[in-house]
Amino acid sequence: MTPRTRTGAAALAAVLLAAATGCAEADRSAHGPAAPGKPSQRPAAPGAASARPAPFTLVASGDVLPHDSIIRQAAKDAGGAGYDFRPMLAGVRSVVSGADLAICHMETVYGAEGGPYTGYPAFKSPPEVAAALKETGYDSCSTASNHTLDDGAAGLRRTLDALDAAGVRHAGSARSAAEADRPTLLKAGGATVAQLAYTYDTNGYPLPEGQPWAVNLIDEQKIVADARAARKAGADVVVVSVHWGTEWQTAPDERQLSLGKALTSSSTGGRPDIDLIIGTHAHVPQAYEKVNGTWIVYGMGDQIAGDMINYNGSYDRRGNEGTLARFTFVPPAVPGGRWEVRKAEFVPQFFDTARGRVVNLNAAIRKGEEQYTETRDAIREVVLGRGAARDGLVAGE
């Protein structure tokens, strides 16, 4: 459909429509139990104090983008009593909850309890999204995106408050200078993992007055400085979430390539400052690539989104395609060394808007749903397009 223009500040409308058209959806209505807990950590055996730390698996996924049709689907799934986003995520629950650490990208901000809730172009999502993310198995979400200031400082604060209440950590936006300066540190296996997050822009909305720290904007020097600070704060593994790239472009753009190369080449004392880069924003799957010995996922595509409208004004199926990235980290061979990725996997997924459900494509095809084969193969071609198979990337389920 033709994207709706924002009411209110007309000066921002042109910026929004240029920068966020890829977030638009077609106006077509879409037609469980709590997630199991995280894998339990085995208690250390007697006398095992000198044993190496336990390895861990990390899963990351793309944009959670609740359009109007997604909000309607959540209301329907709740049976008229609020909003329930758990059923639409159930198809990937086993992958997410099965990881030691799972990271999502919460692209939009939350509206006030009871609404009103809106989709594109200025998103205000039901805060019930946060509880669904938690029950699906997510531990933390990046919250830096071009939509982080869609409802100003109030929307930002509501979002982080709701994530806190649900028990989901977050990185990339902040309610105070102290919060902005404090790295998000997470436990996984025997490691402490830092998540840092940044966005290329906020759709022309200025940072709230007196709050230059409210949203992390992409700046190479700041990212490196933050990574080093996180390492000093105790991080064994540093993960950087970046909202970047060109919408509807499956190939990483020059900025992604140059920034990725620069960040992965940064090191301190011979040890890389950043151990993994995971990207969002393009709304289509992009390649995985190992650069300077570090994995980069240029773009994971959308995890939840309505029927996506491209720059030609047409529904583009690629906007509902995505991947979950899964990396298995093992501890360093020597104290103070780098945690290495022993296994790198991608899990193709698709948000079926007719059903209002996320589909784990490999699992669905194995069960006989062969209608998804072409979509799965198209995702695979893009993901492996920069030679990641040579570095060991494989498809997972």
The answer to whether position 64 is within a domain reads: yes
Neighbours of 394 (CB within 10 A): 12
pTM: 0.91
**Nearest Cα to Cα of residue 124 among 149, 104, 145:** 149
The confidence score (pLDDT) of residue 71 equals 98
The answer to whether position 20 is within a domain reads: no
The confidence score (pLDDT) of residue 27 equals 56
**Domain at 110, CATH number:** 3.60.21.10
The confidence score (pLDDT) of residue 45 equals 47
Split into its structural domains, the chain has a count of 1
142-3-88 Cα angle (round to 5): 45
Locate the DSSP E strands across 202-330: 237-243, 267-268, 271-272, 276-280, 288-291, 294-297, 302-304, 321-330
Question: Residue ranges of the chain with pLDDT lower than 50?
Answer: 1-20, 28-36, 40-49
The answer to whether position 16 is within a domain reads: no
β-pairing, 237-243 vs 191-199, is parallel
Q: Domain limits at 70? A: 51-395
The answer to whether position 200 is within a domain reads: yes
The answer to whether position 13 is within a domain reads: no
Neighbours of 38 (CB within 10 A): 16
The answer to whether position 7 is within a domain reads: no
The answer to whether position 334 is within a domain reads: yes
The confidence score (pLDDT) of residue 118 equals 98
The answer to whether position 150 is within a domain reads: yes
